[in-house]
């Protein structure tokens, strides 16, 4: 299905990519990886051994990844979707419930929306990005769905194979079956395959809470 590797909806490919990238914020994966590093070091001379992360270091990495996940969702699912809809003269029905300000001065629109999403006030210099901080072909919409749907994929894998799903040989076959259609599916098709609602944000929120709770526990261990 060469055509579906090259064409189709990029929200799917980005969902798959973000799903795998998300492993580096998964407490179970990081703890498993640490054991792998320990085993690796047993067979290496001292100069070639890899540093082993402490519980506190893992906790800090988890928190960092949660921060970046939240940052990107607020940036893309909030500011960029609204700004680019206005920039491209989209139907006000798309954004009027979330932004009620003026639309003539695009730099100020950008400044307002991104300040709200980032949680701090952008300067006029910061907001000069309003002409360049734009994704071609409204790709921001693909990213927006992908951030949410990647968490849905993780929820599916956890539900099917447990918290350490990545250690289950059956998980590889499940991922193969999921990815086999390449870009033929729409995001709603993948959600249906997962037995979930289309672009449901709840798994994303639950994943953040789960990871922060795990990070807190690791911080308390202090090792």
- What number is the average pLDDT over the span 172-180? 91
pLDDT tens by residue, 48-65: 999 999 999 999 999 999
Domain ranges of the chain: 2-221
Q: How many CA atoms lie within 13 A of 123 on its CB side?
A: 2
- Provide the pLDDT confidence category of residue 5 given band limits of 50, 70 and 90: low
Rounded Cα distance between 153 and 98, Å, is: 28
Whole-number pLDDT of residue 1 = 61
With 80 as the cut, is the pLDDT of residue 222 above it? no
pLDDT tens by residue, 89-147: 999 998 999 999 999 999 999 999 999 999 999 999 999 999 999 998 899 999 999 99
- What number is the average pLDDT over the span 187-203? 92
- Contact of 155 with 203, CB cutoff 8 Å: yes
Q: How many CA atoms lie within 13 A of 198 on its CB side?
A: 6
């Amino acid at each position: 299905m060469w055509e579906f590797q090259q064409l189709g909806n990029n929200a799917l490919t980005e969902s798959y990519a973000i799903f795998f990238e998300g492993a580096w914020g998964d407490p179970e994966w990081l703890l498993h990886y640490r054991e792998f590093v320990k085993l690796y070091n047993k067979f290496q001379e001292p100069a070639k051994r890899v540093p082993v992360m402490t519980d506190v270091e893992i906790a800090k990495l988890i928190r960092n990844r949660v921060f970046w996940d939240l940052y990107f969702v607020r940036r893309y699912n909030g500011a960029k979707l609204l700004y680019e809809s206005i920039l491209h003269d989209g139907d006000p029905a798309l954004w009027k419930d979330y932004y009620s300000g003026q639309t003539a001065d695009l730099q100020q629109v950008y400044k307002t929306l991104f300040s709200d999403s980032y949680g701090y006030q952008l300067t006029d210099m910061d907001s000069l990005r309003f002409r360049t901080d734009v994704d071609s072909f409204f790709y921001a919409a693909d990213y927006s769905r992908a951030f949410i749907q990647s968490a849905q994929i993780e929820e599916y894998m956890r539900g099917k194979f447990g918290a350490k799903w990545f250690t289950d040989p059956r998980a590889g076959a499940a991922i193969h079956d999921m990815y086999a259609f390449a870009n033929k599916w729409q995001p709603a098709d993948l959600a249906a395959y997962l037995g979930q609602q289309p672009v449901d944000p709840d798994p994303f929120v639950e994943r953040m809470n789960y990871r922060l709770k795990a990070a807190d526990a690791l911080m308390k261990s202090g090792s």
